[in-house]
Amino acid sequence: MSVSNSFPSGLYGGRLTIDPKALAANWMFLAGKLAGETECAAAIKADAYGLGQEMAAKTLFEAGCRTFFVAVPTEALALRKVLPDAVIYALDGLFPGTAAHFLEHDIRPVLGSLEELQEWTALCKSTGRNHPAAVHVDTGIHRLGLSPAEFSAAMSDKALLGPFEPTLVMSHLACGSTPDHPMNRRQLDLFREVTAPFAHIPRSLANSAGVLMGPDYHFDLARPGISLYGGRAFDTGFNPMRPVVKVEARIMIVREVPPGDTIGYGAKQTAKRPLRNAVVAAGYADGLLRRAGSTDERPGGFAMIEGHRAPILGRISMDMITLDVTDVPENLLRRGAFVEMLGPHVAAADIAAYAETIDYEYLTSLGRRFERVYGPLT
């Protein structure tokens, strides 16, 4: 167990525990699912989904991962300082006038438009060298990527490409979280069709969901993200991944609420019976989203206290949350004790559903004010 903090533990209102061994185990599990010689990369964008890019990069590299995907160039440059020998791709592509930074630090942009491709190939022509980069072809998500027609024309245009040949051709699934959605097969078929003339170049389609959907989606390289961190790749069904993170908040006060009284801002939650509530020192400023609060019309999320469910009462505030602990044994409600807000017993996907969002948003928002601890979650 290790701790990385600026202040003594007792001064933090919440604690974020991250299990690097679980992270490594999830990557090895996914790598074991891949067909043939498919390489398992890792998406560690957004500070490794909120858990810490440096820790995640070192952990995954030690586990055997050699290719990493981030979003923006600044993430790539920070990662290069940590992993001097890794292959690093920047998914958001080539921002205007930044090519020199990519070359200096051996970062590979994922070229997502014809203009980006033209700028990169001009660079290759000016140096007479093939500088590594990926090309993104849009198979239906309509975000980044060359259209299939643009891709086919560009890849066949020797005058445009000059010495450039991509090190990777990739696309991104729009509906991978719903594995039976017909969009997945349409994208797979289109990706196969448009890349077939260039099949000597490594190809990548699978995110976390694509890994679990089977070998048809694997191609040469997979780039899982959410599953590495214990999140759900699919919206429904069993999640085979180990939890990697636990969020706990400290109890500040326990008090009685008579029936008919209201709890929290806006008086949105009314006590229907005599209640005991516990106020904990974490809120939406710590990434525990306000939308997961409770009202008289709709239930909110919940926390767990040593096996006992504690529903959220009223609105989630910036710095605190009120929990219904009426049915929790009093000896577990000590001032200063920790309550599990997210973790092995409160899945990120489950609590996210109360906030009408996904576990990605929860994970990437967590813990700017929390104590950070690295070790087992139990």
Alpha-carbon dihedral sign for residues 127, 133, 135, 136: negative
Among residues 33, 45, 246, 268, the one annotated as catalytic is 45
Q: Please, which residues bridge with residue 218 across strands?
A: none
**Residue partners of 7: CB distance under 8 A and separation at least 6:** none
DSSP-derived secondary structure for 121-173: HHHHHHHTS----EEEB-SSS-SSSB-HHHHHHHHT-HHHHTT---SEEE---
Distance of CA 338 to the CA centre of its chain: 25
Q: Tell me whether residue 265 is one of the annotated catalytic residues.
A: yes
CA-based nearest residue to 171, from 197, 140, 199, 196: 140
Q: Could you tell me if 97 and 72 are in contact, meaning their C-beta atoms sit under 8 angstroms apart?
A: no
Among residues 21, 58, 125, 265, the one annotated as catalytic is 265
- SS3 label, residue 152: helix
CA distance 36 to 49: 28
For residue 64, give Cα distances in angstroms to 249, 284, 324.
Answer: 34, 36, 45
Q: Tell me whether residue 125 is one of the annotated catalytic residues.
A: no
Q: Which residues are catalytic?
A: 45, 265
